[in-house]
Amino acid sequence: MPRTRSLVQVDVFGTTPYSGNPVAVILDGTDLSDEEMQRLARWTNMSETTFVLPPSVPEADYRLRIFTPDGELPFAGHPTLGSARAWLDGGGIPRHAGHLVQECAAGLVTVRRSEDRLSFAAPPRVRTGELDDGQLKRIVAAFGITPERVVAHQWVDNGPGWAVLQLATAEEVLALEPDLTQIPDAMVGAIGAWPEGSEYAFELRTFAPGIGVPEDPACGSMNAAIGQWLTSTGAAPSAYRVSQGTRVARAARIEVSADKDGTVWVSGATDICIRGTVVL
């Protein structure tokens, strides 16, 4: 029988509320089938809708399932932070002081609490290295640029299948007018540097036609994997800020930092904008 469940909508990474990337969080996903979860995620039409469940391992505080309009993801960044905020707001008590542990299909993800900010530890990448020539040519063609404008390229896949092209400047990234019909299954980003002394180090755009999201306003998982790549090679400092969402009328700020042991943390604002119920 359908029953009423708590729903929270959290704006993640916004410089002000309603300027980042929203996630819909169902705080009790028990007894829901895969099809019921997918139907709701398709209906909300957000980049992700999540369902909180009891953990299946003793180390975790809760288990999370993450759905896009087109399918389920093993891990995603802004849903991780938004769901953690919703769980805490709903009365969740972490097993450990100062941090909580989320269980998802990609494994266990640590979420650190610091004053009014939450940060997640970047999970391991499942694929790294440069793109092959065929993949690179398809993306370059879809982006409408020449290969010479690509400074570097890399698989930055921590579950969703991300790849990224680095261009010389943030302005070049913002000027892109990609034809996603040429890469309908792609999960790809473009990143470029702002001038030294700017508020942000990089501008990032994320395109995910492969899961029904043409352009994501703010992507935590891609920022996490790019952070692992750039900080490990010395192409970025151990702490920096990324601007995202400009071309889709958002204003997101993502903070990336790397510990001495190489652990990369991604943090940003998590503002609860809607509290309500849903009948499922």
CA distance 13 to 23: 11
Residue pointed to by tokens 């709701």? 40
Mean pLDDT of the chain: 96
Is 100 found in the same domain as 182?
Answer: no
230: left (phi over 0), alpha (psi -120 to 50) or beta: alpha
Q: 68 phi and psi, to 5 degrees?
A: -95, 180
Above 90 in pLDDT, residue 58?
yes
Global pTM value: 0.95
Return d(Cα 24, Cα 14) in angstroms, integer.
15
Q: Which domain holds residue 96?
A: 4-121+267-279
My answer on whether 116 and 187 are in the same domain is no
Domain annotation covers residue 207:
yes
Residue 153 lies in a domain: yes
Residue 240 belongs to some domain of the structure: yes
pLDDT single digits (tens) 197-210: 999 999 999 999 99
Please tell me whether residues 40 and 67 are part of one structural domain: yes
Give the pLDDT confidence of 123-135 residue by residue, as tens digits: 999 999 999 999 9
Provide the pLDDT for residue 212.
Answer: 86
End-to-end Cα distance, the chain = 8
Are 112 and 145 part of one and the same domain?
Answer: no
Cβ pair 11, 18 in contact under 8 A: yes
Q: Assess whether pLDDT exceeds 90 at residue 114.
A: no
21-36 confidence digits (pLDDT tens): 999 999 999 999 999 9
pLDDT value of residue 1:
78
- The pLDDT value given to residue 236: 98
Verify that 116 and 12 share a domain, yes or no: yes
Domains in the chain, number:
2
Say whether pLDDT at 115 is over 80. no
Examine the domain organization and report whether 77 and 159 are in the same domain: no
Distance CA 80, CA 64 (A): 8
Q: pLDDT tens digit string along 129-183?
A: 999 999 999 999 999 999 999 999 999 999 999 999 999 999 999 999 999 999 9
Q: How far is CA 96 from CA 99, 111, 126, in A?
A: 6, 11, 28
Cα–Cα distance measured from residue 248 to residue 215, given in angstroms and rounded to the nearest whole number: 8
Question: For a pLDDT cut of 70, what percent of the chain falls above it?
Answer: 100
169 with 58, same domain: the answer is no
Q: Are residues 143 and 106 in the same domain?
A: no
User: Catalytic amino acids?
Assistant: 48
Q: Are 159 and 59 in a shared domain?
A: no
258 with 273, same domain? no
Q: How many CA atoms lie within 13 A of 3 on its CB side?
A: 9
Dihedrals phi, psi of 41, to nearest 5 degrees: -60, -35
Residue 48 belongs to domain with CATH number = 3.10.310.10
**Interhelix angle 220-233/77-89, nearest 10 degrees:** 120
pLDDT band at 248 (very low <50, low <70, confident <90, very high): very high
Residues 138 and 37 both lie in one domain: no
